[in-house]
Structure 1
């Protein structure tokens, strides 16, 4: 017996000949069907010629003589009536059609991963859930557009399809990840087919084994997505950033040069304009970086070029990167003491400036320890007096400028944030409060002419445009265009405005203020200092009120909280020197050179509704 020609689509064997009048019919002509997912050949498919069309019409007339009997005019009238009915019900029909859509797409995505770790759950990539009729739905290209191809897998090999329409205010990440793959496949098809090289081939069984080990190893992580994780500055990116990053990553553009990523380079310029406007810059030069560390390096590099032979001053509570980068750049670094709230001491700063060795002062808008905000507005007068350059490191706290002068307890004093617009350079990390994946930092210069310090030539890259390439104003070379794409897409939905991203920060602030209020009323915990942004600092009350006892109790709570499998809580500690600790809390006995206190970063808006549970859990730990 001759074997029926088959093509495998989404793991289902499909006959490639026509089915006419109950029989398989071979055509004299065929065409090659190529997968839009990965470019592989699915099979040789029988082409529908005039001969097959005539046979199909004859079969239809024989099968449905009642439809063949009316005149073509009468049949046209009936078909128009059906079309009118479809048009009236187009929204509901679209939902039903979408329910079975995308099977081939999901099969292709499944060859990459069958699970994606993101947000609060381990999301399984299965058949896409139909979008709500009242919500925006993925573009039509998210499916195959082939009802035969999409109907088979769900019935034979796929999971049970959920056909219910679910109302939700959250984007369906699974469907949009599928849409990302489909969009890339549609674009790739425009360049014609090609044969994938066998050296890159990995079959499903081998991948499944490696992926199982991979996902198991990823479980060795803390639950950064959950509000019970209140330790460091860690949280998953927004789903929009995930989709934006993946979609661009499939192309893998490099934003170093315009020929490496023209679309994402344009997106980068647009998001940099938005960031500049957020800080109040009228003019700017800037770009994204892989981190705040690199962004600060670039700012200090320009500072060194403008003030050769002079050093840089920064708060003793500033990020350690500034001392390190001064060493890299061959500059002298000058740590400046802080006041009781962790802000730069202006008297100490001016004493240092009088010596004439400092060309640049780094002010921190949100220290990583306590979230302290240096008095930027008061240092501006010193700039005029001593001819210094002012750089603002707002890597952690920069997006809180959206709450400057806002009404309510979550609003922040406007003066330091308004003064940031007069700084010579600014660094901010979108991978912190900008909801982005690591690494996404940014550096901005108020004077675009500093671009002259980056001048270099690269004869093999800068050739597709007379326009300035981002690599010509950056110390870094290769940079992921996907980072710009993710930020651009996020800003389309949650722009860096008070009404957009500011609402997320408002929730963070309310959570921090509420927990501080609860701690102040506690018999077992004591507030170290009021939160200036969304970092809460506190310590356990101990019987002998000594630094050593507080240090030991803080460490115990940290360890017990993390290792409790039933109700874990994840914190961090901050070491505070004895002099500073007892200045704020004079009743504490200074029997050591310092003590660890507890520190919680409430940078997830979900903390606002979880903070009471956190507080109760910490009180139980403090009592034990």
Structure 2
């Protein structure tokens, strides 16, 4: 046995004692958990009384006044700061009144899964060291592949969200096509104006910034036009370019529209193109029987992205990618390191998540998906999704009845609409209108620009959003319009006031 000096021994034991707060005993754990649990209960019970959005963000400055790492501080005070300066400012994503962007979720059972994943600190990156964690993630991916209609040979990865999932898909498509740096200037990517920006970012991060981008025209419902796609592909081949990747959407963030996926898949199969479908928002609606027709063709994609933190109402940080050809996924991402040689085994078989993703250190995010699905089954998720579809249709009809100009009938749960004032520019009015709803704060609505025209949009996907929420949103909008119409000086500039009224409804998009 190696000898140790009394001085070294004393120092080691002293450091051990100083570090002991990092490993509290059962009594201290109970005390800390009681305070956290009590706050969680107060927060959740008080959600209906909180505003969905708080315009005043001055409380954020108080965070820095606490300092950072200077010494121990009581948990109660830290929880109060979290409540006031984090949960109490800006958007409250867990609120039923979150009707902007594409709402995230945050179901309670998932928080318990996250707690257990953090306490056990399971590593979900390598099958050898965390076989149970990897098996759970594999089961989740198999389930997603099944309802999405992917074949048995498909593979995938649970990622932190749609952005990393999209990057995995783009890199897999690049490698499957055998593209090398010398090919990038000739490789052509086809998308519509409403393709999510994370895909364009993924293309750039994947080293393909020099690739040729083609914006495919849209039909009257703002969906990518397959005939236009086929024409562009033929023209690019005639130019000596290399058509490569088509980006389709199963629910765009701007308008919620679903591209005609089946017809796009026909073009891709005929032309030998990789077909990627962004179903981050809309993919889980495939669990609803009536939506399968809308999403027809999604199962023909070469790669598919889904976000469980959207359509499964889970906490942020849960995305997924499915690749039809599982071997293509592994060929694109697998690497070997000598210090991991012990992890190569044949007993359990199968690949490790770290081999098919940029992530090596991998949080056990599968538990937040697995636990609520086994706790409740599929039925409540399916019912919640169908409820959101019905609420969007209800809002579309009611907002039109209030006198708003409305966009297309929603195939999923996003509705676009705007108010056209009797005088002044509609864009200025609607920009003021969305700002007026933000100041009100009872619900949170967002906006977008379509073909140069400013539109408001409502996205129904928060699991706490119900009929009374939509009625409240209609009330907030009607009151805001009345206030702005009564005080035109709040939105109408001198220039816009001179614009002819008949020109105000122009701009397209509806």
1:347 to 1:108, Cα distance in 2 relative to 1, 3 A: same
- Are 2:105 and 2:310, in contact at CA under 8 Å, matched by a contact in 1? no
Query: Is 1:513–1:531's contact at 8 Å kept on the other side of the alignment?
Result: yes
Assess, with a 3 A threshold, how the Cα gap between structure 1 residues 236 and 604 changes in structure 2: closer, same or farther.
closer
The alignment partner of 2:465 has SS state of helix
Aligned to 1:538: 417
Whether the 8 Å contact between 2:159 and 2:319 is mirrored in structure 1 is yes
1:264 aligns with 2:133: yes
Q: Secondary structure at the match of 1:258?
A: coil
Preserved CA contact (<8 Å) 1:116 1:122: no
Q: How does 1:587-602 map to 2 (within 5 A)?
A: 594-602=452-460
Q: Secondary structure at the match of 1:392?
A: strand
What secondary structure sits across from 2:194 in the alignment?
Answer: coil
1:417 partner SS: coil
Query: 1:219-263 CA deviation, whole Å, 9 max, x = no partner?
Result: 113233333332122344111111111111112222221355332
Corresponding residue for residue 469 of structure 1: 352
Give the corresponding residue for 1:486.
368
TM-score normalised to structure 2 length: 0.76
Is 348-357 or 464-473 further displaced after alignment? 464-473
**Counterpart Cα distance in 2 of 1:293 and 1:518:** 35
Identify which of 313, 324, 327 aligns with 2:201: 324
> What root-mean-square deviation, in Å, do the aligned CA atoms of Structure 1 and Structure 2 show?
2.7
Paired residues for 1:272-291 under 5 Å:
272-283=141-152, 284-291=154-161
Match of 1:455 in 2: 334
CA contact (8 A) 2:113 2:367 kept: yes
Residues 462 and 352 of structure 1, relative CA distance in 2, 3 Å threshold: farther
* Unaligned runs of at least 5 residues, structure 2: 1-21, 48-68, 484-510
Per the alignment, residue 569 of structure 1 pairs with: 443
**Residue from 267, 270, 279 that aligns with 1:385:** 270
1:297 aligns with 2:167: yes
* 1:614 aligned partner: 473
Contact 1:288 1:441 in 2 (8 A): yes
Change (3 A) 1:111 1:231: closer
What is the aligned partner in structure 2 of residue 553 from structure 1? 429
Matched, 1:213 2:88: no
Deviation at 1:344, TM superposition (A): 0.4
Look up the match of 2:393. 513
Question: Kindly tell me: are residues 621 and 298 of structure 1, through their superposed partners in 2, closer, same or farther at Cα, counting changes over 3 Å?
Answer: same
Instruction: Give secondary structure in 2 for the equivalent of 1:116.
Output: helix
- Give secondary structure in 1 for the equivalent of 2:189: strand
SS, match of residue 574 in structure 1: strand
| Displacement of 1:347 | 2.3
* CA positional deviation for 1:317: 0.7
- Distance in 2, Cα, partners of 1:41 & 1:420: 50
Q: Which moved more, 1:247-256 or 1:392-401?
A: 247-256
Distance verdict in 2 for CA 1:118–1:350, change over 3 Å: farther
Number of aligned pairs? 419
1:490 deviates by: 1.9
Q: Determine helix, strand or coil for the equivalent of 1:264.
A: helix
Distance 1:614 1:484 in 2: 34
Partner of 2:97: 228
Deviations 1:35-71 (A, max 9, x none): xx966498xxxxxxxxxxxxxxxxxxxxxxxxxxxxx
Unpaired runs of at least 5, structure 1: 1-36, 43-103, 124-199, 578-593
Q: 1:377 to 1:556 in 2, by over 3 A?
A: same
Distance 1:260 1:600, change over 3 A: farther
TM-score by length of 1: 0.63
> Are the aligned partners of 1:223 and 1:229 in contact in 2 as well (CA < 8 Å)?
yes
Per mean C-alpha deviation after superposition, the further-off stretch among 218-227 and 317-326 is 218-227
Bigger mean CA deviation after superposition, 270-279 or 225-234: 225-234
Residue 534 of structure 1, CA deviation? 0.6
Question: Aligned partners of 2:222, 2:42: CA distance in 1, in Å?
Answer: 35
Match of 2:33 in 1: 109
Equivalent pair of 1:312/1:326 in contact (CA under 8 Å): no
Cα offset, 1:501, TM superposition:
1.9
Match of 1:422 among 294, 300, 314: 300
Distance 1:448 1:373 in 2: 26
In 1, Cα distance between the equivalents of 2:160 and 2:136? Answer: 16
Q: 1:389 to 1:599 in 2, by over 3 A?
A: same
Please say if residues 430 and 436 of structure 1, whose CA atoms lie closer than 8 Å, have aligned partners that are also in contact: yes
**CA positional deviation for 1:351:** 1.6
Note the C-alpha offset of 1:318: 0.5
Change in Cα spacing, 1:384 to 1:207, as seen in structure 2 (3 Å) is closer
Distance in structure 2 (CA, Å) of the matches to 1:248 and 1:378:
42
How far is 1:359 from its partner? 1.2
State how 1:329-408 maps to structure 2 within 5 Å. 329-331=206-208, 332=211, 333-354=213-234, 355-356=236-237, 357-403=242-288, 406=289
Q: Is the 8 A contact 1:296 1:427 kept in 2?
A: yes
Residue matched to 1:443: 321
Corresponding residue number in structure 2 for 1:159: none
Cα displacement string for residues 401-456 of structure 1 (whole angstroms, at most 9, x for unaligned residues): 122xx3xxxx3361x53322221111101111112111111111111211122221
Q: Which residue matches 1:191?
A: none
Q: Measured at CA, do residues 113 and 459 of structure 1 come closer, stay the same or move farther in structure 2, by a change above 3 Å?
A: farther
Does structure 1 conserve the Cα–Cα contact (< 8 Å) formed by 2:99 and 2:445?
A: yes
* Structure 2 residue matching 1:536: 3-state secondary structure: strand
Q: Does structure 2 conserve the Cα–Cα contact (< 8 Å) formed by 1:314 and 1:361?
A: yes
